[in-house]
Amino acid sequence: MSDEDFSDNESAISIRDGTTYLGFVDVPISEEEKPTIEDTFIGGEPLWLDSRSPPQEDLLLCKSCTSPMALLLQSYANLEATYYDRVLYVFACKKPGCRRQNGSVRALRAVRKDPKAMASWQEQVEKKAPVEATRFDISKEIFGSSSNPFTSDTPNPFSSSANPFAQPEPKQESISEPKTETKETQSTAKSDTPAKTYASVASSGVKPKPKPKPLSVKLPSHPGYILYMDAESLKRKPVEAPIGQIDESALDTEVEASNAQLNPLAKQMADMLDDSQFQKFSSKVAHNPHQVLRYDLGGKPLLYSSGDSVSKLFLDKKGRWRDEFLLARPGFNPSGQRRFELQLMPKAIIDLESDLENIDEGMEWGTIVVCTDVEDTMPELDENHVGYVEEYCGVQWEEEVKGGEQ
């Protein structure tokens, strides 16, 4: 099998423990630059794991006004050592009257667990493991370079040659369309596969749903951009740490000096609010001001403030990080727990509203925090092996700094 059998998508990254990954705008979505299901992008139209299997319509409606919502983010986020496809979506209502309303921003998690595809994927990965190990070593050399992350010809850390969300995977022709079974796939299905494969274990206990229904509503949209992902690095001294490893104690001592370098409006807000979390937020963002996304599975969110309902889930009364976050258990998995996965950053608003004529109708959030089920439970799959659930989505609003749990 040649290297061409592996995906050459340029929006996947390699897992490095303790690393925070940042998303930056790479190229606008256009007829020439269309995202695939394996890309991470903001705005535009959502891509479903199977075009025949969209989410339930009610999951795409604003809980405040019941209008269809627009896509803010779609992230292909496979988990390490898994062989199924996983995507996170964040939607928000575009109506100005729904700003700061509970349920006006929602997050969905989707998985596709086709047992045959998973078994084939696992088999091919195991055969190619030595080759992929070599490619990963090469990717580490690439990540150490000083290349420009905003050019399309730069090696992208979200590429499947080193994907933090998934095991090395074979290139798939189109995951959103029905696949025609070939002689090769038939022979794979008929081969002497062990009785207990990863696919059989992962799909056990998942009950099938009725046949999916096509959407009857048209979703509004924002301008779309494909993202480039890279490991976070802090460039300003004296904070010196390995890529992605941020020394919180050192950062605390740097806050005052950092704020002096912020733009006057941000400094004025920090002084006015006297909020240590907002100051840390401003300080970290100042290192990479163009970031629109932060991804840190199982880590800590970068909080916009410490005075709202969202922050209380992560911080105690003294402003210290809780040993266990007070995130509600998933309704679809009552015995499970949630962990932080990603958040949208304010720079995304500038890009998503690039065509907005009236600024008063724009978005007003400081950050959107998404937390997901640790066990990645999916209670139901439809006949196309696709399922969707709603995950925790907390919004910290700007200016008033009065957040709400969505």
- pLDDT tens-place string over residues 290-332: 999 999 999 999 999 998 999 999 999 999 999 999 999 999 9
Contact present, 305 and 278 (Cβ < 8 Å): yes
Indicate the Cα dihedral angle 66, 70, 75, 76, nearest 10°: 80
Residue 176: partners with Cβ closer than 8 Å, 6 or more residues away: 37, 47, 48, 49, 50, 51
Q: Is the pLDDT of residue 250 over 90?
A: no
Instruction: Give the pLDDT of residue 224.
Output: 97
Q: Is the pLDDT of residue 186 over 90?
A: no
Instruction: Give the pLDDT of residue 273.
Output: 61
Radius of gyration, CA atoms only, the chain? 21
Mean pLDDT value across residues 155-171: 41
Between 246 and 349, residue with greater pLDDT: 349
pLDDT tens, 85-116? Answer: 999 999 999 999 999 999 999 999 999 999 99
| Closest of 316, 70, 263, 40 to residue 164, by C-alpha | 40
Contact present, 29 and 224 (Cβ < 8 Å): yes
Mean pLDDT value across residues 191-207: 53
Q: Is the dihedral of CA 193, 197, 203, 204 positive or negative?
A: positive
Report the DSSP beta bridge partners of residue 339. 372
Helices 183-190, 115-143: axis angle to 10 degrees equals 110
Of the given ranges (65-69, 246-250, 267-271), which has the lowest mean pLDDT?
A: 246-250
Residue 55: partners with Cβ closer than 8 Å, 6 or more residues away: 48, 108, 110, 388
Between 229 and 127, residue with greater pLDDT: 229
Instruction: Give the pLDDT of residue 130.
Output: 66
pLDDT band at 362 (very low <50, low <70, confident <90, very high): confident
**pTM score, whole prediction:** 0.74
Question: DSSP of 198-260, one letter per residue?
Answer: HHHHHHTTPEEPPPP----SPPP----EEEEEEE----STT---STT---HHHHHHHHHHHHT
CA gap 72, 372 in Å, rounded: 17
Residue 179: partners with Cβ closer than 8 Å, 6 or more residues away: 117, 173, 185
pLDDT band at 356 (very low <50, low <70, confident <90, very high): confident
Between 248 and 266, residue with greater pLDDT: 266
Instruction: Give the pLDDT of residue 73.
Output: 98
CA gap 15, 162 in Å, rounded: 8
Q: Is the pLDDT of residue 378 over 70?
A: yes
CA gap 232, 190 in Å, rounded: 45
pLDDT band at 236 (very low <50, low <70, confident <90, very high): low
pLDDT band at 274 (very low <50, low <70, confident <90, very high): confident
Q: Is the pLDDT of residue 385 over 50?
A: yes
Q: Is the pLDDT of residue 55 over 90?
A: yes
Q: Is the pLDDT of residue 201 over 80?
A: no
Amino acid identity, residue 251? L
**What does pLDDT average to over the chain?**
77
**DSSP code of residue 177:** S
Instruction: Give the pLDDT of residue 359.
Output: 74
Percent of the chain at pLDDT > 70 equals 64
Instruction: Give the pLDDT of residue 138.
Output: 43
Q: Is the pLDDT of residue 42 over 60?
A: yes
CA gap 65, 92 in Å, rounded: 12
